Structure 1
């Protein structure tokens, strides 16, 4: 795999772990039905789902499991995509947009069921999301989205929830609340899923890079450091890291984003902790809370594939995030105990790449580019199991790896709303 740094700064989630399970390196030839390349959130969800379905699998991770993008994840689990259902309907038609949102909502629920089936608490908690119009011009667009969601049976309430202060409402001209979202501790969740998969028979190998993937008759041969894996199906759950051939059309648009975690017990009394918040601006500001009373906030996306590595630059972005919180809660003072920058990827058409590429049958791409990566990971696991059982998933045609012309997709470039 190509070396690429995915985050920098002081990460919060690993600090919530007192013990990190470890797994051996591959030192043999292994045969299995499914080989999963990547030990982050997507690989963890796929491994746990395959184990639950009784499908033999091997998972390999080049470094340590749950240590790359998963460690920088902020843990918001929402069925709403970075592109609204109404906007997606304008692009691909209402029928497909509604189907995509329906399966995303199912993925949120399925993730909760998967989390409930493991003994470790990964912090899965049902939450509601407050979606705010950043400008007066965005208010009609937000109203249209609310009405479409309601028309298709989604639980949503127009306006601000009880307890939001007047300063908050003065900042945003309109808002609505969706119900049925969730939050997680991404590092604890990924470790819990991988541990559960290992207990159920999935072989897990750390510090095992994959140098090459080759066809060998009806099998795939994975040339690994220290051994070889033969598998009928290979799952590419490598996130934003380029690794193996056969990924034509799956390249993400790489950017970087910023996040922080405040000190404990700093959530303002007027904020309902059952709610998360985000806005219509692109890039958008968002926040959630943690069980020990922290606020995890993020945003400030920039058009650069590499994380900020200089302390002054990271401090400048952190100050801007704290300033955004201060505008919403002017009576509170916030300090960042942790602050970090991470790389993330988006697809040109705002949809994940999930499924087999026509040129490489048996190579299953589970690439959840976008702000809903964990939801897309659960969706990918569901689609993978359907494919292995010989079933055609309703979204297979829409999400399979495809060539996307970035210029023709109609997707705007990131708005530099928070210049340094």
Structure 2
């Protein structure tokens, strides 16, 4: 492939993402101002690219990371970072699509990724990670029958879950729904700060080799190597190229794999204490689009949802005020005593796939090119899975999970 990419980088967010305001720019990185030869180049330094780099550094693989923007200012800063094993496509339905063992494995990989992220964040002493439970409730009475089916599928797959009927949900968690699944395994994280920490990880005596504000204008794939040209005229020669460009993947492949959506999020003013719901579980529901709710480490509540099909940034951004009012009404109706007052609001673009699964691995039309595309509502856990699979592939190891997420599935 050889194509001009200049001016094709998407405007992925708008508004004031809470994590960006809270953390500012914790680390800075240089522009690429020289030619580079490297074993692997990672294009994209959001959470997906940062996790791939973390694994490659640990494996002793020489790599260089580049990003067109200042680090973290793409969709990562807009992430609401609810970490769940649950995929946007329910387990029972995914079983019908790809078979019981494959569906079960996809869910289990996401569960294992939460534990992996906990261990990684411990190494960075990151206070933005917190283990939680997850509550998935029926927004409508008609959803109860399939949600019970989903409960049985998860239970059979070995997940620690329990069923709440309508009265139990109200008594224990204080809001109305028609039934719910409570899962023991979930977590929340500050994805923006985690990304910055991951990009500081390196072997003693070695350079970081992370460069931002370095747009790529041309890429040539061949059977022996990949050559990238940057906007400033520098050349990067690599044996392998990993695309961790997220939703901008539409610029690089010609296969229709993702539907782009816009989601909206609101974070409350800070509370003096934590007058929140039981266990501060992550909450989401069966509506389409679904509502999702979590807390933050500094006594705030985040509510998100009200998704729209993405058409262009201007149309997406015009809806921020209306969506803020709607989401504020949603959470205040759910928890009237919370008196939720919005302070930070934003919108971001994300992608969904037909089966809810990411795309990971090689793409035949781009020799020596690999992808880590963690689409969906739990893209961060998929990014862990992608990093593990690609690290194996680059070391010449077989990975039995590759076929689950391949472009040929």
TM over 0.5: yes
**1:192 maps to which residue?**
197
* Shift in Å, 1:21: 1.2
1:251-301: CA deviations, max 9, x gaps? 421111110000011786351354110011110001100111110110001
**1:417 maps to which residue?**
none
The yes-or-no answer on 1:206 pairing with 2:212 is yes
The yes-or-no answer on 1:106 pairing with 2:102 is no
* TM-score normalised according to structure 1 size: 0.89
Distance in 1 (CA, whole Å) between partners of 2:237 and 2:150 is: 47
**2:241 maps to which residue?**
234
**1:148 maps to which residue?**
153
Equivalent position SS for 1:117: helix
**2:182 maps to which residue?**
177
Gap change, CA 1:15 and 1:108, over 3 Å in 2: same
Q: Which moved further from structure 2: 74-83 or 264-273?
A: 264-273
1:58-94: CA deviations, max 9, x gaps? 0000111111101110011111100111110011111
Q: CA RMSD in A?
A: 2.4
Gap change, CA 1:257 and 1:270, over 3 Å in 2: closer
Q: Which moved further from structure 2: 277-286 or 353-362?
A: 353-362
1:209-256: CA deviations, max 9, x gaps? 1122213552211112332111111110011114764x2325421111
Structure 1, unaligned runs of 5 or more: 404-420
Gap change, CA 1:5 and 1:76, over 3 Å in 2: same
Equivalent position SS for 2:297: coil
- Runs of 4 or more consecutive aligned structure 1 residues displaced over 6 Å after TM superposition: 160-164, 309-312
**1:14 maps to which residue?**
20
**1:249 maps to which residue?**
255
**1:408 maps to which residue?**
none
* Shift in Å, 1:113: 1.8
Structure 2, unaligned runs of 5 or more: none
* Shift in Å, 1:398: 2.2
**2:162 maps to which residue?**
157
Distance in 1 (CA, whole Å) between partners of 2:295 and 2:165 is: 18
Gap change, CA 1:176 and 1:356, over 3 Å in 2: same
Distance in 2 (CA, whole Å) between partners of 1:355 and 1:314 is: 35
Distance in 2 (CA, whole Å) between partners of 1:95 and 1:310 is: 39
Equivalent position SS for 1:232: strand
**2:290 maps to which residue?**
284
1:286-319: CA deviations, max 9, x gaps? 1100111110110001122334668873222111
Q: Which moved further from structure 2: 159-168 or 30-39?
A: 159-168
